[in-house]
Structure 1
Amino acid sequence: MDEGGDKHSGYRWEGGYERTWEALREDDTGALISGSSAAKRLFAKKRLAQEAGQRIHIVRHCVLALDLSRSMADPDLRIDRYPNRAGCAVRSLKEFVPKFFASCPLGQLALVILQNKRANIVVPLGGSEARLLKALNDIEVKGFKTGGQCSMVNGIAASKSMLNAVGEHSNREIIFVVGSLNTIDVTSPFATIETVANEGIRCSVVSLSAEVNIWKKLAERTDGKYFVPLDPIDVSDKLEELSRPPVESSSRQGVLVKMGFPQKEADARYICPQCRTRVKAIPTLCDVCKLSLVSAAHLARCYHHLFPPSSVTPSIPEQSGEEIDLELERSQFEKIRPCVGCNYAPISVEEGRQFVVCDKCLNSLCGECDGFIDEHLHSCPGCI
């Protein structure tokens, strides 16, 4: 053991090395690529192209089921000040929550803790990002206490008690972040899996230990996703993928959803326009009349899902073949105009390769602005 170190230092072989290989990722063909901004931009554009024309769920009611059984005390995924799997999970969930509300402004989240064969509802369904982050910070302050066994059936039962109050128009989901290799249940987990599948509740699982058959069956049967991350960075990547609105796989017909725009009082509470009940935060369901309460800002932030940003073309397209025509690249570089977003002009051909041209307004965009548009702004500044 380390002497004189902090209480989470552990054995020498459990830490103290740099994960330099984490900058490498595999593309669709299995080739290794760098985790640079250019690679991330390419991945984002592929994702946007796949989602174009697809029906997606922008009204999501999701329950985060976090395993805090004793298996989460394993230090194999320790990173920075997070000493074990539980710390890695909390760290990734703290990144997941803002991304979820950014991509799904009309969505609601809840937090359930799986520990000692029980499932405790820590944060009920709601649209308060601050409340969820506070609950995750409390787990960190208490030292990531773990213990007991994990129960999948109890976790599903606690989640269903909240999701059953949601209308059929919403996409109901449960995201399990687990490290346990088993589940201790009083009833058959297979019967529970069939129940949630028949009720249309999508279950996705991020397993921090290994591939477990029962958890994988839960994800497959409910049309969810199952991940076994390789490292702490991969945990965040998988949860980021789950934060985006899922694509509608069934052919069910769309329905009109009645929503209300509540009035805000001086004490930061909101009044339901239908029954005059007070609620703490929006978006949420009114506790009395079950009306969906949202604000105009929430609806406006969903606009980019209906109208994605315009497509772009590289200013210096990649040349096929072994020989590169330097003269052609030079002529293409000289035609690049300053970025319409930040007014930066490339000073070399290498920088020019990062520039793109909007197919709609024909303005140039640098790599940073192009990535910012894809992930956050969702509108070309030259097209506005």
Structure 2
Amino acid sequence: MSKQYKYKQAKITEEFIDVDDEIQNSTQQTGYAWEEEYKRSWDVLQEDEDGSLKRTVENLQHRKRKRLFRDTATIRRGIIRHMFLIVDLSEAMMEKDLRPSRLDLTLLYAEQFILEYFDQNPISQLGIIVTKGGYAEKLSDLTEILIIMGSLTTCDPGDIYDTIDNLVNENIRVSVVGLAAEVQICKLMCKKTKGTYGVVLNEAHFKDLLFEIIPPPPVSATQNKAELVIMGFPSSVTDASPSLCACHSKPTIGGFICARCHSKICDLPTDCPVCELTLVSSPHLARSYHHLFPINNFVEVPWNNSVSSTHCFSCQIPFPPLLGVRGGAVPIENSGRYKCNKCHQHFCIDCDVFVHEVIHNCPGCLATTH
């Protein structure tokens, strides 16, 4: 190799290879992982006067446990949703960066998502589409799409930008949960359709991104139009002898009678197969209604204001003892008390999460007599 060729090669390397100085310097300073010292993470564990690690564990739980602060503003939301769940089944889903694999974890969380979706949105509809080999089959027309995508490429039969424009014109909201890395076209699609886009960091973050789609999104300005929906509240019946239901054409003993055409159906909520009337029960409607008026987030109570409470108002589990009456070498950073600003009752962190995620009603406010 001549000297002239070596000079040109070095010049090309300097011009076209941009080395990050910070990363290079940090690598030189820290060295390899096996050259670093032990961090002795077990030294964080400290025993109290009784030789127990309970207080240390409580401190670690309060640091790491995620408090769910939701948007509790009273805004208009749609309580009847029509969503598609699109699952990527390409070869990229066989990667094992998420344990046990992207596909196995997606199927597990998708099953939990569907159960939670219908639990919080019982009068809504959900369709499922799987994509593989460049094909996808749609069974019904819905107005919201959630995509779980493991691939970094798309297979588009036409212009993807025309497809995005059609989604915007049809007021279809698209949200994407990416399992690999950020894809620019997915980010653009979610931005234009007023959806959400997130890339998974780990298994727990995957579930958080997926379950954030469960509450109904706010109604956009273009859809800010009130529409009346006719619903029927059927009565439950128990027949003396089996009779055919209108939904499955099978003989059943119990069921519900449509309020309009008096056809017999098996379960609620559903659309009457004869007159197409939306049939629900009052608990289903109330379950969807709580999204419109969510409970305010509980406020963490500092130590100096926690004298009045010794037990959780809901589950009656004792709170951590106050500063002046507890001993031991390990102080508890958090008082473990969370207050409702309406009824001023104190709750533990487990009841706080249970109230805001499951029952959507404050026990203290319900118990207060006005």
> TM-score scaled by structure 2?
0.68
- Correspondent of 1:197 among 160, 168, 173: 168
After superposition, the Cα gap between the structure-2 partners of 1:213 and 1:35, relative to the gap in structure 1 and judged at 3 Å, is farther
After superposition, the Cα gap between the structure-2 partners of 1:333 and 1:176, relative to the gap in structure 1 and judged at 3 Å, is closer
C-alpha displacement at 1:93, in angstroms? Answer: 0.8
- Correspondent of 1:282 among 251, 268, 279: 268
Amino acid aligned to 1:71:
A
| Aligned-partner Cα distance in 2 for 1:276–1:231 | 51
C-alpha displacement at 1:36, in angstroms? Answer: 4.5
Deviations 1:272-293 (A, max 9, x none): 3334455554333334543222
Deviations 1:35-82 (A, max 9, x none): 94676563x2x31xx232222222111111111122212222223xxx
Query: 2:353 matched to which residue of 1?
Result: 371
Query: 1:358 matched to which residue of 2?
Result: 340
Paired-residue identity, %: 35
What SS does the corresponding residue of 1:233 show, helix, strand or coil? helix
What SS does the corresponding residue of 1:76 show, helix, strand or coil? coil
Larger Rg: 1 or 2? 2
C-alpha displacement at 1:205, in angstroms? Answer: 1.0
Deviations 1:352-378 (A, max 9, x none): 711133333333222222221121122
| Aligned-partner Cα distance in 1 for 2:72–2:344 | 23
Task: Note if 1:258 corresponds to 2:227.
Answer: no
C-alpha displacement at 1:240, in angstroms? Answer: 0.8
Amino acid aligned to 1:185:
D
Query: 1:66 matched to which residue of 2?
Result: 87
What SS does the corresponding residue of 1:239 show, helix, strand or coil? helix
The aligned runs of 1:76-115 (5 Å cut-off) are 76-79=97-100, 84-115=101-132
- Give the unaligned 5+ runs of structure 1: 1-19, 21-33, 121-157, 164-171, 318-328
Aligned-residue Cα RMSD (Å) equals 2.8
What SS does the corresponding residue of 2:191 show, helix, strand or coil? helix
What SS does the corresponding residue of 1:78 show, helix, strand or coil? coil
Query: 1:24 matched to which residue of 2?
Result: none
After superposition, the Cα gap between the structure-2 partners of 1:290 and 1:37, relative to the gap in structure 1 and judged at 3 Å, is farther
Amino acid aligned to 2:104:
G
- Give the unaligned 5+ runs of structure 2: 1-40, 42-58, 239-251, 323-331
| Aligned-partner Cα distance in 2 for 1:238–1:215 | 15
The aligned runs of 1:178-193 (5 Å cut-off) are 178-193=149-164
Amino acid aligned to 1:104:
N
- Correspondent of 2:308 among 316, 335, 339: 335
- Correspondent of 1:221 among 173, 182, 192: 192
The aligned runs of 1:16-31 (5 Å cut-off) are none
| Aligned-partner Cα distance in 2 for 1:271–1:333 | 54
Amino acid aligned to 1:56:
R
| Aligned-partner Cα distance in 2 for 1:194–1:378 | 37
